[in-house]
Amino acid sequence: MTDEGKRAPVQLEIDQPDPATASPTPGDAPVTIWSVMKERQLPELVLSANARLVLKKRYLRKNDQGEPLETPEEMFWRVAKTIADGDLAHDGPERAEATAIKFYRLMASLDFVPNSPTLMNAGRRLGQLSACFVLPVEDSIESIFEAIKHAAMIHKSGGGTGFAFSRIRPESDQVLSTQGVASGPVSFMTVFDTATETIKQGGTRRGANMGILRVDHPDIERFITCKTDNDRLTNFNISVALTDAFMRAVENDGDYDLINPRNRQRSSNLPARRVFNRIVQSAWKNGEPGVIFLDTINRGNPTPHLGEIESTNPCGEQPLLPYESCNLGSINLANMVAGDRIDYDHLKRVVWDAVHFLDNVIEKNRYPLTRIKEQTLANRKIGLGVMGFADLLIATGVAYNSEAAVTTAEAVMAFIQQESKAASAELGKQRGNFPAFVGSVHDPANGGGSPYMRNATTTTIAPTGTISIIANCSSGVEPVFAISFIRKVLDNQELLEVHPLFRKTAEAQGFYSEELMKRVAEKGSIASFKELPDEVRRVFVVAHDVDPEWHIRIQAAFQHHTDNAISKTINFPHSATAEDVANAYLMAYRLGCKGLTIYRDGSRETQVLNIQKKPQYPQVEPRPRPDRTVGITEKANTGCGNMYVTLNRDDYGFCEVFAQMGKAGGCASSQIEATARLISLALRAGVKIEAIIRQLMGIRCPSPIWQNGEQVVSCTDAIAKTLNRHANAHVTTVGSEMGACPDCGSAVEHEGGCMVCRSCGFSRCA
């Protein structure tokens, strides 16, 4: 055993001593995962180097100096022991001990990994284990600011929040209490966004919000375009809630009514096709808004007697009633393959153990609000999903963009749905049904099946960005992002990453080489490599090899057998038209999807395209610096202190920038000087100042600050904003963090309705 494995037992951050990890009584040996592994002959934990890096950076307990206090093995044991103690309310301590071993095997085998808050917080003081929350927003100042307060508490605990703003009266509507006019839902979203920005700075996970507005709200056109400038509402994903009535009007090229939520009366009407086209155009431009199909969601509402669903969590896969929460976890389908076939016996065991695990999470969770605890315990929703689907297809010789893949998706998810319901029914028989069972769709009196059901929902397919890195598998139900790519590591080193199944295949067939992999890394795809075997190119497809139709058909296949919804991104090539996006929305609606998120490659201008071959442009020599220049100097407030930015011009236009911190020395000052020198070089080489501003504006650091009513998110951003004001460029940034990871600078992937960096584990969504 390594020295690391011989360390002292972990002391859990819990209110009461945990017998499995607290200091032993005299004469007793400490119970640690190392002693358990030796006694039970548990296998060693096998993790990739990248998985260990992400765990160290984002999941393991740390001391005040940021040094890990536990190993990955100890983390999984901390989680397993804490969640297993959920058995104590129903069984004896002996059963809980056996369950802890079972849960450890479940996670350490990487067959199943729970959502990030459970890994981070189980067995620690915070103890908040859920990823998804929805809060109500009523049409009053009191309700709006209560929601902001509650959201802050949730974000502080590591959760994400969803809001429906559809109940807020529209802009310019009357306010009787003040004889004034309303500012509308979009203006209040800005307040929510600012609160999130403030709270997230001190957290382990960044706060994230979903903002939803019904398509029949009078402010819908303003809402559709509220994120056209991606400097605004940076902590929100937004989605339009489309109704059946609206979709029929679109298909019939008719009008539809707008309803004032204040009095539920018709305020006006709009051409449905015009509004639909605005949604399409905005999504084509920068990926937002997404859409959810509200009536489709409510047809699947398991507890309609408790109210209608109006909102979802930040990535859209978890529709929830107000004050509900849900804990999620994902099965690694890459591990459910034996030979070239799906091992359904193994999958069944994992499903049953995972349902047990997620139900116990409800017992051990420390809820941020009493109302959330009450509503969650009433419905006991869990969300068991999958990751590694693309890997499963490759291992079984099935191309993602094929009928066989659709059939596989249907079969696998139907099996998981069936077995998760059976496991929940067995738990309901042993421990009792969820309290709102009577009147639910599960109630035999309402045409339901079994008289027992522990959980109102059992299945959700969530984005699995960071946990799929831990499991070393493809994310969610997405295709493989790239066959080979360059990953940035410490000290700006770059490592060549190759999909393990491709490496295995290439080595077995004798065509593997580092030179080939470097060529593949330039494109990510092998579709154009005619020298490779046709069968290999057929099976090893990546996201941008897959036409949108196949993306949607795969999503629909999973949705047919999923209680909640699917978090997935439909990738379009840069050449896609707005009509292509419109057809995708219509197809998704007709196939029964509950929502859709699209992303057109390169639609955010500053995306890092690290898997495409670089275009060849002629090199230019910058003009010499003139002997005499004229310009201005302006003070800018930044999170690092006061900075002074000088912008000079000569006879040809702007030619140089100087920037200096108020205090000398330090890494920040040297980096600022380097930035200014490169800007000056670019200006004298003929690069348009607007292009420079677009590249720099919006780059984020951990210390944003407000200045004169606008947010300055880094020193670089402050320089860009100064240039923008004095060059009269009037540039609006398109959000550089959507292409380059704000933590490590690597390229990000748009998948599962979210943005994820597979180099360091950064996720845009909580």
- Which of the residues are catalytic? 313, 315, 317
- Pairing assessment for the beta strands 132-135 and 595-600 based on DSSP bridges: unpaired
Q: Which amino acid is at 423?
A: A
Alpha carbon distances (Å) from 540 to 398, 526, 528? 9, 8, 12
CA distance 721 to 706: 13
- Local structure of residue 352 (DSSP, 8 states): H
45 vs 546: CA distance, rounded Å: 34
Strands (E), 451-519: 484-488, 494-498
Q: What residues form DSSP beta bridges with 175? A: 180
* Crossing angle for the helix pair 689-696 and 715-726, to the nearest 10 degrees: 150
Give the three-class secondary structure for 247. Answer: helix
Three-state secondary structure call for residue 90: coil
Task: Count the residues in the chain.
Answer: 766
First CA to last CA distance, the chain:
36
Beta strands in 225-315 (DSSP E): 236-242, 255-260, 265-271, 290-293, 311-312
Tokens of 447: 């045409």
Which residues pair with residue 565 across a beta bridge? none
SS3 of 93-149: the string is HHHHHHHHHHHHHHHHCCCEEECHHHHHHCCCCCCCCCCEEEECCCCCHHHHHHHHH
DSSP string of 503-539? HHHHHHHT---HHHHHHHHHHS--TT-TTS-HHHHHH
Tokens encoding 569? 């991104």
User: Distance (Å, rounded) from C-alpha 471 to C-alpha 501?
Assistant: 15
Closest-CA residue to 326 (of 156, 456, 495, 188): 456
The three-state DSSP-derived secondary structure of 210-239 is EEEEECCCCCHHHHHCCCCCCCCCCCEEEE
Q: Where does residue 534 rank: exposed (0-12), middle (13-18), buried (19+ CB within 10 A)?
A: exposed
What is each CA distance from 530 to 113, 479, 527, 621, in whole angstroms? 38, 21, 8, 38
Strand partners, 385: 330
Q: Are 62 and 319 in contact (CB under 8 A)?
A: no
Annotate 710-751 with three-state secondary structure.
EEECCHHHHHHHHHHHHCCCCCCCCCHHHCECCCCCCECEEE
574 alpha carbon, distance to own chain's centre: 22
Q: How many other C-beta atoms can be found within 10 angstroms of the C-beta atom of residue 431?
A: 18
Half-sphere exposure (Cβ direction) of 455: Cα atoms closer than 13 Å: 32
DSSP-derived secondary structure for 552-621: HHHHHHHHTT-SS-B--EEEE-TT--HHHHHHHHHHHHHTT-SEEEEEETT-STT---TTSPPPP----P
What whole-number distance in Å separates Cα of residue 766 and Cα of residue 712?
23
